[in-house]
Structure 1
C-alpha cells in the first residue's frame, strides 16, 4: 500500500507551493532585515504581554510548529461529542452524565435533541466530560481525579468516530496556526487483542517466550489496523474537502499517529499493546512512534514502571528503528512517595526515549544536573504541557520546571496534551508560557521550531543538531527564503525539512503583518 502522506505528486505540489510562497517571503526579507524585524516583533509582544486579550491576538496568529503531545480523544471538546451523540442517538446516563450506545435503558435519556429538550442536562453532560466549571473539593477531591474520570464518559462514542476526532483536532490546530500534529491513538482491535492476551499464560521477564505466543496473530491485526486508518483518513479528506478548491484550512495541517501502551493495565495487557504498537509502526508509515500513557501515579503504573521500561528495551532490540516518546515524570511531591520521584525520567531516557512527555518531577530526580546535561547533550526534548500540569498536578508558575529545562539547554516544545478536556488550546499554552514563565518572543520562536525539529516525521531536518543552525545545503537560501536548486532538491526529498521551511516562511509573513496591525 502506498503511503498517502508521501508520494511524488505530493512532493511536487508541495515544492511548487514552497517556491511560489518563497517569492513573497523573499520580497519580505529584502524589504526588512530579518533580525531587525524579529527584534521589533519581540518588542511588540513585550508591550502587550500583561494584557491577555492583546497577547491572545498577537499569539493566535503566530506559527507554532508542531503539537507533539496530543491525545486524540482528549483533544476533542465535549460539545463535539454531544453533537455526534445527537446524530447517533446515543444515550446520556443520568447518574454520571456519560455516553452509552442505544437503545436507552432506565436511568438514561436520548442525546438526540437534548440541547433543546433539556438544556440543563446537556450543560451538565458538557461539564461531566471536561474540566469546565470544575471546583476543587466539590464532587471530586482534586483536579487529578476529575480529569482522569472524564475519559470513560465519552470513550464508547469516541471509539466509533475516529475520523471525526481527527477532523476536529486538525481544525483546532489550523485555528492556532499549528502546522503538524502527532496524535496518540491505538487501533480499535488493540482493545480486543490485549484483554485476550491478558488471559493467556504469562512468563514474567521471559519476553521472548511471551512474544512467541502472540507473534503469529500480529500480521492480521496490523492489516485490520491499516484498513481502519485508511477509512479514517479518507473521511478526513472527504470532510475537509482536501485537494479541492473548497479545501478547509485544516488540510494544511500535516498529521501522523503514535501508538501507545496503557501502563495502568496488567503486564500481559501492556505487553500485547506494545507488541501490536511496534508492529503497526513498522508496517504503516502513518504511525511514526510509540508512547506509554495513563496516570503515572496509578498503583499498577508505579509498581510496573521498570518492567515497562524493560519491555520497551526488548522490543527496541528487535526493532531499533521504532521511535519512542515516553510519558515520564508526570508526578509531583505529595502525589506519590518521594522515592517514586527519583528515577522515572532517567529510566525513560535509559530505555531510549527520544522525547519525554511532561517531565514535571525533574528536580526530584537523583543527580538531576547530570540527567539534564545528558538530555541537553543527546538532544532529548521535553514536551511541556502547562495547562494540564496545572489542572492535574497543581504545578504552575514558579513551581513549574520549564525554566529549569531551558537554563540547562534541554530542547523544549509546548504541547496541548488534552486540550478538549482541559478547555484549552495551543495559543493558550503560549500565553501561559509568556505570562507565567516569562518567555520572550525569540524563545517562543525557537520552541515553535523545536516542535518540528523533534517531530518523528520522516526526513532530514532543515537545522543542524543545535536546532537553530541551518544545514549547509539551505543556509544561503534561508537568508532570503527562496530555495536555490540544491535546497529545493533537499526540501523535495525530506518531509521534515519541507515543513520547517514552511514554518520559516510563515514566521516571516507573520512578523511582517503583525508590525502593521493595531491591537
Structure 2
C-alpha cells in the first residue's frame, strides 16, 4: 500500500505542473501577446520542413551584396556580382551610397526579396513568394556559412534544438545528349502510365548516368559543401544540432530531374549529415503537373536502389482554384503509396484526395508524418482557420509536426506557427502540442541514434524547466 501511495505521489508531482500549464494555455488562447510570450519560451524541439535560403532573413543577403559592392539595376532592382551589360541603369552599391540613395534601395530590395509590405494586389501571393528565390540567389549561394550560423543562433534563442534544412540541389555537368534521347521516351510512357516500362527506362538511364561518373558530383557536394562547412563553423553543440536534406527540382525536364534525384539519393546514402531527400518548386508549375506521376516513379526507383535513404515530399501544396479539381485527388496518394514517402510536406489538398479517409488511415498506420506550415499555407494558398486540414489529420491520428517553411521570406518564425496553432485550433490541447514537439524529433530523419536520444533527453529537461516556469506565473485560476 505504501509503495502504491508513493507511486501516486510521484505521478502527481509530474502531472501537476503539466496540468497547471495546460490550464494557463487555455486561459490565454485569445491573447496573442501572452501566447507569443508562452511559445517563445516553450521548448520546440525541431523544425523539419525548413528551406535554408528561404529561412535566412533578406537583411542578411542585402548586407552581403552591399558589403561586396555588387551591381544593382536602378529600375528592376536586379542584383549582379558583375555588370551584365552597358545599360546605364546598372550601378554599384558604393555609388548609391555616395549619392545618398543606399538606404532607399536597400529598403526596396528588402521588399522585393521578402513579403515585407506586400499589398496582396500587385501580384498573386504565390508568384510573389516563389519569385523571391531567384532574386536573392545571387547572395544565398555565396555566404552559406554565415547564413547557417544565423539560423543556428536564432533557433537557440527561440528554444529550437534541431533543424533539418533543405540546403541545395547537387549540380553536375549537363546531359544534353541523354536528355534528347530519353525525354521523348519518358513522355510516351507518361501518356500510357506504364509503370513497368517506366522502371525499365529509368534503369537504363541510371546505367548511362553511372557511365558518366556523376557520383563524383555527389561526393564533392558531400565532402566540400556539407562536411567541411558543417564542421568548420561548428554547427553542432550541446544546445543545437543541424542536419541536411538535398533535393531535385520538379520544374526541369525528366532526365535532369532524375539525374539530380540520383545525386541526392547517392549523397544521402553515404553521409550521416545528409539525412534525407526532397523535391522542390511550385507543385502547380506546368511541367511539375504534367510529370508528377513520372516523378513518383523516379522516387519509387530510387527507393528500391537506395533502400536506407529516407525522403519527404512536397505534395498536396494545392487548393481549389489553383489547379483543376481533378488534379487535387491524387498527389498525396501517389506520394505515399507509389513513391513511398516517409513524410509529406504541406498536404493541404487532403480533403479533396480520392478515398481520403483510407489515405489518412494509411498514413497513420505507416507512421507517415505531415509537415504542417500554417503561415506558409495561409500566404501562398490562402488556406487558414477551418479551411486548413490540420484538424482532419488530428482526427485520424496522423503524426503532425509544425514547421516554419521559409521564415526569412515570410518574415515569421517557428514560435509564430505555434501561436497560430493554439489560437486558431482549440482542439489542440497542451498535451497535443507537446506531442507535436516530440514528433519533431521522433519523426526526424536523424541517422545516429545517439544524436536523437541526446535531443530527446534535452527536450525532457527543457520541458521540466518550462513547466516549472509557467507554474510559477501568478495568474487567475479557473
Q: Would you say same fold, with TM above 0.5?
A: yes
The alignment status of 1:383 with 2:365, answered yes or no, reads: no
The separation in 2 between residues aligned to 1:104 and 1:272, in whole angstroms, is: 30
Q: How many residues align?
A: 444
State how far apart, in whole Å, the 2-side matches of 1:518 and 1:108 are. Answer: 59
Q: Is 1:444 matched up with 2:439? A: no
For the residues of structure 2 that align with 1:391 and 1:62, how far apart are their CA atoms?
Answer: 25
2:249 maps to 1:262 = yes
Shift in Å at residue 98 of structure 1?
A: 3.3
Q: Cα distance, 1:186 vs. partner?
A: 2.2
Aligned to 1:227: 224
> Match of 1:77?
57
Distance in 1 of aligned mates of 2:76 and 2:473: 47
Superposed displacement of residue 214, structure 1: 1.3
Alpha-carbon distance in structure 1 between the residues aligned to 2:93 and 2:228: 26
CA gap of 1:288–1:229, structure 2 versus 1, over 3 A, is same
* Conserved 8 A contact 1:197-1:269: no
Matched, 1:160 2:142: yes
Match of 2:468 in 1: 512
**Aligned counterpart in structure 2 of residue 88 of structure 1, from 56, 68, 76:** 68
Deviation, 1:198, is: 6.7
Alignment of 1:99-114 (within 5 A): 99-103=79-83, 106-112=88-94
Shift of 1:199: 4.6
Matched residue SS, 2:348: coil
Q: Is the 8 A contact 1:194 1:270 kept in 2?
A: no
CA contact (8 A) 1:198 1:269 kept: no
Q: Could you tell me which of 40, 44, 49 is aligned with 1:60?
A: 40
User: Does the CA contact (< 8 Å) of 1:194 and 1:273 recur in 2?
Assistant: no
Query: 1:281, 1:322 within 8 Å by CA — same for their partners in 2?
Result: yes
The Cα shift of 1:235 comes to 4.3
Q: CA deviation at 1:333?
A: 0.5
Show the 5 A alignment for 1:379-418. 379-418=367-406
Deviation at 1:182, TM superposition (A): 0.6
What is the deviation of 1:435? 1.0
Between the aligned partners of 2:18 and 2:174, the Cα distance in structure 1 is 51
Q: Relative to structure 1, is the Cα distance of residues 114 and 371 closer, same or farther in structure 2, using a 3 angstrom cutoff?
A: farther
Q: Distance in 1 between matches of 2:436 and 2:323?
A: 31
Residue deviations 1:173-211 (CA, integer Å, cap 9, x gap): 212211111110225xx3343565775532523011111
- Residue 124 of structure 1, aligned match among 94, 108, 111: 108
Distance 2:392 2:340 in 1: 22
RMSD: 2.1
* 1:100/1:157 contact within 8 Å kept: no
Given that residues 90 and 102 in structure 1 are in contact (C-alpha distance below 8 angstroms), is that contact kept between their aligned partners in structure 2? yes
Q: Secondary structure at the match of 2:367?
A: coil
For the structure 1 residues 441 and 97, does the alpha-carbon distance in structure 2 shift closer, same or farther, using more than 3 Å as the test?
A: farther
Matched, 1:337 2:324: yes
Q: 1:429 aligns with which of 417, 422, 431?
A: 417
Q: Structure 1 pair 114/403, CA: closer, same or farther in 2 (3 Å)?
A: farther
Aligned counterparts, 1:437-516, within 5 A: 437-438=425-426, 439-460=428-449, 494-516=450-472
Distance in 2 between the 1:310 and 1:265 partners?
16
Tell whether the 8 Å contact from 2:172 to 2:217 is kept in structure 1 after alignment: no
**TM-score, normalising length from structure 2?**
0.88
Unaligned runs of 5+ in 1: 1-28, 244-250, 461-493
CA 413–194 in structure 1, closer or farther in 2 if over 3 Å, else same: farther
Contiguous gaps of at least 5 residues in structure 2? 1-8, 187-197
Worse-matched range after superposition: 379-388 or 119-128 = 119-128
Partners of 1:459 and 1:160 in 2: CA distance: 30
- 2:272 is aligned, of 278, 282, 285, to 285
SS in 1 for 2:310: coil
Q: Which residue of 2 aligns with 1:218?
A: 214
Give yes or no for contact 2:316–2:346 (8 Å, CA) kept in 1: yes
For 1:93 and 1:363, locate their aligned partners in 2 and report how far apart those are by CA, in whole Å: 45
CA 1:381–1:436: 2 relative to 1, 3 Å: same
Deviates more, 1:335-344 or 1:201-210: 201-210
State the alpha-carbon separation in 2 of the partners of residues 47 and 114 from structure 1: 52
2:141 is the counterpart of 1:185: no
